[in-house]
A and B are shown apart, each in its own frame.
Chain A
């Protein structure tokens, strides 16, 4: 997993809970990398799983809601670091549809070792988008957070329904309905 995910995750932890918690996580996880992450590096994605699990324990917050807030945080970062990706799309649905065949495609060009999810999107009608997340990394909650912020960014309030197609969480369906 790309280093930016780790650095931004720890950045968020520090913002919410202070550096002591960051230190606690790094000291108490068994991290092959030693925990000195840099945005340009690449690390085993199991390290982030460890870090989140421990944070969940410590803050008594379920993992999905942690991932969701991480999604919120990450969206803000993406918005600053990759502004060009947002200019192309003029509406929220266009933007969400562009992840699979444009944004993540470009990401893969920049980082050939990136591990990215697959999204299947289907426009039910002008107000409804179905988006199916597929990934071994089971981070659909992160996607949830990202989607929420994306809708907010385009100023299109909506309701998001989440349904696990696969019990393990490798395949999750989001039904995004714009509020009338």
Chain B
């Protein structure tokens, strides 16, 4: 009975449980059905979207094809077997075929000239099949058989299922470039061969001449011993000195051709600088007349022998001394060697050869280191090849140094070069004379008076890089105020400034007994190098003249001329911002000019470009307004500023044209001429603007890439 009850209850429970389960399942089934419905909808929607996207893709593909066709790029579509599916109009134009002639043909068979190229094509083809793109150059033939060079950018054509069905080639006709390139290579080879032939010739010739020449010299000596008459003695002495000149001339030529051919190599050994210099001193001492005093000053800080090419160093010093001797009739010739920097392992030395000779005029200073340029070309008294200084410069540079010259007509010259030597063993005993006490490092202070922001930025960047102390005045009034308060060792003064110009400012300083800078050196800065302007600057009491835009080297030269600081040889000053010099970056416009101006520091250059495009460029458009309103002086002021600024961003042509415009205005010429010239410059600038912008962008791209790489 009890069991029965139990079973009944169990049954009831199970029936109830089943019902409940069924309701739950029923509910779930409905939910499932609904979920399935919405999935279906979602799926349809997705399919629709995919179809739409595919259509859009086809459309945009068409659009790009048309675009490419308009750009004189020929499009050719082939299948995986190289069979032409479609040749676009521009491609037909490029090759001289009709569309119908090409369709269905094998592209390789129609176009290839060289059989070897089919290997290249197979390679290209297999790449496309893997879905890879690529760019390559190929010579193909036109319908008339004429060969053309094309650059091809190929990409695979992929169908909706992701399968590669063929490839699409974009063809660009590069025949002209290719021919130019070939010609260039050819002429480069010719030039190289010519250079080689020249060297060989020089070497042979000098050798051929030397042999008989030695005979002449020998004979002259012998004749000297054969009791010649006084007249004969005179002849012999001319013969003697002439052959000596001829001999050194040939030696020079030989040296030079060897250096040019890269045949001279540095031979390192350990040597005593002291001994080298004293032997030089002795040999030169014999040759000097009593009127010239020779002095040697070796830095006592040098306590080691040094490793280097002894012969090369002595040749450099002898060359420079020979030069000094030639041009110094009385006074002194000095050789100074100083340590600029000493590390545990190295000495950075600066050598100076100074004389009180006739000096070198400013115009000639620029090219005395060039081949075959003699300082006194017009003066018969100073014979020689004119190769001596060029050789000297090359010898210095071969050893990783640099050389420069500083000179004043009728006062003397100073040749300065620096070389870095590894230390050898200690040799404390070597001491010549104690070094002269020089003024303390970094004491000099410079004032820059300049109203143009860009020009100011340029000079200040350089001074800062060189660790020089300086103050700034933005106009004449400010300059006078500051010169009353603190002493300066050197003042750079822009000539054309608002309020008070450079002449007036200088005059005010010079005429004021109480101004502590009454006799400080003042260097004029001006965009025009006319002698009249220079003369006027000197008339107003300025000491020197620097033409804008000046490069770092010229600025250095001036600074070292007027301050104690030997800026030229100072390692701190050499190399402008080392580390960011990017010799490989090439701006599209006047690269060499810009390189000199910024010494390859493009980051600095680009900064100036940005300042120019941001702050200076728009002022150009104000010129027209002033011209039209006959406000010529206002117009001229802007023109004058832009002469320098344009040149500083490499727009040399525009700068030159500006200079002409300034002259038109100064000469009170016809206004219509000015407007015509203005329009020409405007067109020029319009063209240059995108180039400047591109340069900035390219550099920024270049710089960021290199930053990532490093």
Contacts and interface: CB of A to CB of B under 8 A. Distances in A.
Interface of A: 19-20, 23, 26-27, 34-41
Name the residue among A26, A27, A39, A40 with the largest chain B CB count within 10 angstroms: A40
A104 B18 CA distance: 27
Interface in B1-37: 6, 9-10, 12-14, 16-18, 20-21, 24-25, 28
Contacts of B13: 26, 35-36
Nearest to B28: A40
A1 B17 CA distance: 16
Contact of A20 (B6, B18, B20, B28): B6
B10 A19 contact: yes
A38 B6 contact: no
Contacts of B9: 23, 26-27
Contacts of A35: 13
Nearest to B3: A20
Contacts of B17: 36-38
B18 A38 contact: yes
A38 B10 contact: no
Contacts of A34: 16
B20 A36 contact: yes
Interface residues of B, number: 14
Nearest to B10: A19
Contact of B21 (A19, A23, A38): A38
Nearest to A24: B6
B14 A36 contact: yes
Contacts of B18: 38
Interface string B83-119: 0000000000000000000000000000000000000
| 7 pairs of A and B residues whose beta carbons are closest in the complex | A36-B16, A38-B21, A36-B17, A36-B13, A38-B17, A40-B24, A38-B20
A136 to B, nearest CB: 26
26 contacts: A19-B6, A19-B10, A20-B6, A23-B9, A23-B10, A26-B9, A27-B9, A35-B13, A36-B13, A36-B14, A36-B16, A36-B17, A36-B20, A37-B17, A38-B17, A38-B20, A38-B21, A38-B24, A39-B21, A40-B21, A40-B24, A40-B25, A40-B28, A41-B20, A41-B21, A41-B24
Contacts of A41: 20-21, 24
Contacts of B25: 40
A40 B16 CA distance: 13
A36 B19 CA distance: 10
Given A19-B10, A38-B21, 19 more contacts: A19-B6, A23-B9, A23-B10, A26-B9, A26-B13, A35-B13, A36-B14, A36-B16, A36-B17, A38-B17, A38-B18, A38-B20, A38-B24, A39-B21, A40-B21, A40-B25, A40-B28, A41-B20, A41-B24
Contacts of A36: 12-14, 16-17, 20
Given A40-B25, A41-B24, A23 B6 contact: yes
Contacts of A23: 6, 9-10
A26 B16 CA distance: 14
Contacts of B28: 40
Contacts of B24: 38, 40-41
B14 to A, nearest CB: 7
A5 to B, nearest CB: 14
B5 to A, nearest CB: 9
A40 B20 CA distance: 9
Name the residue among A19, A26, A38, A39 with the largest chain B CB count within 10 angstroms: A38
Nearest to A38: B21
B396 to A, nearest CB: 71
Contacts of B20: 36, 38, 41
A9 B576 CA distance: 87
Contacts of A27: 9
Interface in B423-463: none
A141 B28 CA distance: 33
A122 to B, nearest CB: 39
B435 to A, nearest CB: 74
A54 to B, nearest CB: 17
A10 to B, nearest CB: 10
A19 B9 CA distance: 11
B555 to A, nearest CB: 70
A41 B12 CA distance: 17
A23 B21 CA distance: 20
